[in-house]
Amino acid sequence: MENLNQLQQLMQLGQQMQSRLSEIQERLEKETFSASAGGGLVEVTADGKGAVRSLRIDPAAVDPEDLE
């Protein structure tokens, strides 16, 4: 009987963890994160899923003859 009780508690804990993980994932989808490199010559913004939302490259970082 005690094993059954422990199993029920374990299942409840698993459901709570899954619910919490879903909440965190939803929040992350709404968040954006920005970073820069090269002294600010390159800036990128991504969402919580890692999808790039914007990318800016300062023209000074690129040779105008080599824009391809």
pLDDT single digits (tens) 12-62: 999 999 999 999 988 988 899 999 998 999 999 998 888 999 999 998 888
What are phi and psi for residue 49, nearest 5 degrees?
A: -90, -5
pTM metric for this prediction: 0.59
- The confidence band for 68, taking pLDDT boundaries of 50, 70 and 90, is low
Residue 51 · residue 30 · CB < 8 Å: no
Nearest partner of 21 among 13, 33, 9, judged by Cα: 13
